[in-house]
Amino acid sequence: MASSSARVIPGSGRSTLGEGPLWSAREGAVYWVDILGKRLHRLTLADGAVTRWDMPRPIGWAVERETQPGFIAGFDTGFAELTLDPLTIRPIGDPEPDLADNRMNDAKADAKGRIWAGTMPFSCEGDSGAFYRLDPDLSWVKADGPYCIPNGPAIAADGTWMVHTDTARGTIYRYAINDDGSLAPRTPFVTFEAEWGSPDGMTFDADGGLWVAHWGTGQVSRFDPDGRRERWLTLPASQITSCTFAGEGLDRMFVTSAADGKDDEEHAGALFEVDPGCRGLPTPRFGG
Q: What pLDDT is stored for residue 5 in this prediction?
A: 79
Domain assignment of residue 182, yes or no: yes
What range does the domain containing 199 cover?
2-274
Q: What's the chain's average pLDDT? A: 97
Q: Can you say how many angstroms the Cα of residue 231 is from the centroid of all Cα atoms in its chain?
A: 21
Catalytic residue among 34, 166, 200, 205: 200
Domain assignment of residue 287, yes or no: no
For 24-76, write each residue's pLDDT tens digit. 999 999 999 999 999 999 999 999 999 999 999 999 999 999 999 999 999 99
Residue 200 annotated to the active site? yes
Domain assignment of residue 7, yes or no: yes
Question: Which residues face 102 on adjacent strands?
Answer: 121
Nearest to 256 by CA among 11, 31, 3: 31
Domain assignment of residue 281, yes or no: no
What are the distances in angstroms from CA 190 to CA 21, 55, 210, 228?
A: 22, 35, 10, 8
Q: What is the CATH number of the domain that holds 160?
A: 2.120.10.30
Q: Could you tell me the end-to-end alpha-carbon distance of the chain, in angstroms, rounded to an integer?
A: 42
Give me the mean pLDDT over the 108-134 stretch.
Answer: 97
Looking at the 3D structure of the chain, how many domains does it have? 1
